[in-house]
Chains A and B, each alone.
Chain A
């Protein structure tokens, strides 16, 4: 059983981790909606330091409204960005209007 499924509202955490992470700065703290579960993958944060025996982590694709990411820009309401986020970078949030 995965922690999230398609349609769930989530927020991307800012874990403050130094070193190699795959969750870009621009998406941290943003809220969006899970579109798809992608399976489990070795955590790149472990792989980057040569640890290949770490626990595999769940990976999701999460959709965000472009308008919410870049509030100062004039962006059509429907435009969307989808990015992959590992489970430990996500938390569940109540439904929000700011999700595609």
Chain B
């Protein structure tokens, strides 16, 4: 059975224990079997859909950012129509629209979803566990600076903070600031500097 996993003063994150995981596996297998029996889907479709869920991840986000850092015309296309620009890189985007928000020396962006846990999954894959936690969803819109501090980022008060609640049909990506000596690095070196946390906005890569 599921239980609350409590760590000190941390807000409980609801996870399944071993028995809960087995039970859930049995239920979804049973549901899949019933749906296959009705001809509504095939086992092959499920396997292919799982593979598709597994393929996105940070590597795609890093590729987008490194390209934007080194190609100003791509960057401007990315900021005006994120979905189309991302698709130029042969990344299939299933979300209706991707809005890319740019960090600058005076501006920092943070992405959240207070109602559920909307996330640009076709680019970054599965959101981190803390992103779907009640604590992050509840506090990111009310005390985002304290939330950032918990992630080790003390944002200076004169930097404008913009929080984006992905409550409806848009999905968001943060474009972090490039290192000040961006031209010294190769694309693959730049890609290794980018973390998933930069793309959500809980980290800031000051150049």
Contact = CB atoms under 8 A, between A and B. Distances in A.
A contacts B: CB pair < 8 Å: yes
Interface of A: 22-24, 26-27, 38-39, 41, 44, 59, 61, 63, 66, 69-70, 73, 75-76, 78-86
A10 to B, nearest CB: 15
B177 to A, nearest CB: 18
A38 B169 CA distance: 9
A26 B112 CA distance: 14
A35 B204 CA distance: 24
Given A24-B115, A73-B142, A79 B167 contact: no
B160 interface: yes
A81 B96 CA distance: 21
Contacts of B182: none
B168 interface: yes
A23 B167 contact: yes
Given A76-B157, A78-B160, A79-B161, A24 B167 contact: yes
Given A70-B142, A84-B170, A86-B168, A38 B163 contact: no
Nearest to B142: A70
Contacts of B97: 38-39
Interface residues of B, number: 23
A22 B160 contact: no
A73 B170 contact: no
Contact of B115 (A22, A69, A80, A86): A22
Contacts of B99: 61
A84 B168 contact: yes
B191 interface: no
A41 B169 contact: yes
Contacts of B161: 66, 76, 78-80
A44 B141 contact: no
Contact of B163 (A24, A73, A81, A84): A81
B154 to A, nearest CB: 13
Given A59-B170, A83-B165, 15 more contacts: A22-B168, A41-B96, A41-B168, A41-B169, A63-B162, A66-B161, A78-B161, A79-B145, A79-B162, A80-B162, A81-B163, A81-B165, A82-B162, A82-B163, A84-B169
Contacts of A59: 168-170
9 contacts: A24-B167, A59-B170, A61-B99, A80-B161, A80-B163, A81-B165, A82-B162, A83-B165, A84-B170
A78 B99 CA distance: 21
Contacts of A78: 160-161
A44 B142 contact: no
Closest 3 CB pairs of A and B: A84-B168, A83-B165, A78-B160
